[in-house]
Amino acid sequence: MDFSDIADRGLVLLGCGKMGSAMLAGWLEGGLPPRSVWVVDPAPSDWLRGTGVNLNADLPETPAIVLVAVKPQMMGEALPGHSALGGGGTLFVSVAAGTSIATYESLLGAGTPVVRAMPNTPAAIGRGITALIGNAATGEADLARAEALLSAVGQTVRLQDESQMDAVTGVSGSGPAYVFHLIETLAAAGAAQGLPEDLAMRLARATVAGAGALAEAADETPGELRVNVTSPNGTTQAALEVLMDEKTGFPALLARAVAAATERSKELSRG
């Protein structure tokens, strides 16, 4: 990424918890000078103190970007104090879950370019995926800058409408937890069939991680990959007959789970 504009005008990071730290680490590794970053965080970690960024210092007058990474419940305290940066000179990028673009516009002004983004926890190892959408005041250059910053922690995708963010939350935002639970239950099922618990867990973790990497790297669709490893009347088919049952298997279960997460996201956005 070309950090020249940010290096000249500065980048402000509001909140530096797990997600903020992951992004900051990616930017610094990508060549962003530490002195071009201002971090506002009430409880900075030892790692953050050692990065060389401007920590809880006076902010530049018109930074290029303000990235909001505070928890949603802290938004009411964090954002109003920076309302003077609204109006169009500074791009605001939010990774705070459940906070709508309209909320930012009400605090910063409708003319403020705002990009709302939803990353997920694999961002901590640079393997996340972030969905983003801009308001009417954002141009292509603003979206490109937001994508460049967010790509420091993984892939990015653009949404067509902000209303899609709730479904994104249900699929990729909350999705890692579904996969972690799959690993837990797969390991428990292996232990129930006589494997030592530590061995069952090692097999389950490596299997899910490897299958995910293969699904991402392969030219075939996940459905084709599934067929490729399913021999007629074999062991995999026996298991899939259980997992693919329309009433009790994955199709119905995951549809209900994603719908529940999506609905809860809508409720949180409404406050």
Supply the CATH number for residue 25's domain: 3.40.50.720
**Bind-site residues:** 14-19, 56, 69-72
The pLDDT-based confidence of 40 (bands split at 50, 70, 90) is very high
CB-CB contact of 53 with 24 (8 Å): yes
Are residues 152 and 179 both part of a single domain? Answer: no
- For the chain, percent of residues with pLDDT exceeding 70: 98
Position 99 scores a pLDDT of 87
Position 271 scores a pLDDT of 65
Single-letter amino acid code for the residue at 199 = L
Are residues 18 and 128 both part of a single domain? Answer: yes
Mean pLDDT of the chain: 93
- For the chain, percent of residues with pLDDT exceeding 90: 83
**Domain boundary pick from 114, 143, 165:** 165
User: Where residue 196 sits, what CATH number does that domain have?
Assistant: 1.10.3730.10
**Bind-site residues for NADP(+):** 14-19, 69-72
Residue 170 included in any domain: no
Position 258 scores a pLDDT of 98
Residue 59 included in any domain: yes
> Does 141 score more than 90 pLDDT?
yes
Spell 138-171 as b/e; 16+ CB within 10 A means b.
Answer: beeebbebbbbbbbbbbbbeebeeeeebbbbbbb
Q: What is the mean pLDDT of residues 209-218?
A: 97
Are residues 160 and 179 both part of a single domain? Answer: no
- The residue segments making up the domain with residue 119 are 4-165
**Both tokens of residue 96?**
């705070």
Give the Cα separation of 54 and 44 in Å (integer): 12
Are residues 146 and 179 both part of a single domain? Answer: no
Position 1 scores a pLDDT of 60
**Chain length of the chain:** 271
Give the Cα separation of 52 and 55 in Å (integer): 8
> Does 243 score more than 80 pLDDT?
yes
- The model's pLDDT over 248-263, given as tens digits with 9 standing for 90+, comes to 999 999 999 999 999 9
- The model's pLDDT over 73-127, given as tens digits with 9 standing for 90+, comes to 677 677 777 888 898 889 999 998 888 999 899 989 989 999 999 999 999 899 9
Position 75 scores a pLDDT of 72
Position 97 scores a pLDDT of 83
Position 6 scores a pLDDT of 86
Are residues 14 and 128 both part of a single domain? Answer: yes
**Both tokens of residue 238?**
């026996």
The pLDDT-based confidence of 2 (bands split at 50, 70, 90) is low
Residue 20: closest CA among 174, 145, 152, 142: 152
Pairing of strands 154-158, 128-134: parallel
φ and ψ of 219, to 5 deg? -75, -30
> 177 vs 20, 22, 153, 233, 257, CA distance in Å?
20, 18, 18, 32, 11
Are residues 47 and 152 both part of a single domain? Answer: yes
> Does 34 score more than 90 pLDDT?
yes
Domain total of the chain = 2
**Domain boundary pick from 112, 135, 165:** 165
Are residues 102 and 236 both part of a single domain? Answer: no
Residue 116: closest CA among 64, 67, 70, 173: 67
End-to-end CA distance of the chain: 36
φ and ψ of 22, to 5 deg? -65, -45
Give the Cα separation of 243 and 154 in Å (integer): 30
Are residues 139 and 202 both part of a single domain? Answer: no
**Bind-site residues for NADPH:** 56
Residue 133 included in any domain: yes
Q: What is the mean pLDDT of residues 159-183?
A: 97
Give the Cα separation of 265 and 271 in Å (integer): 10
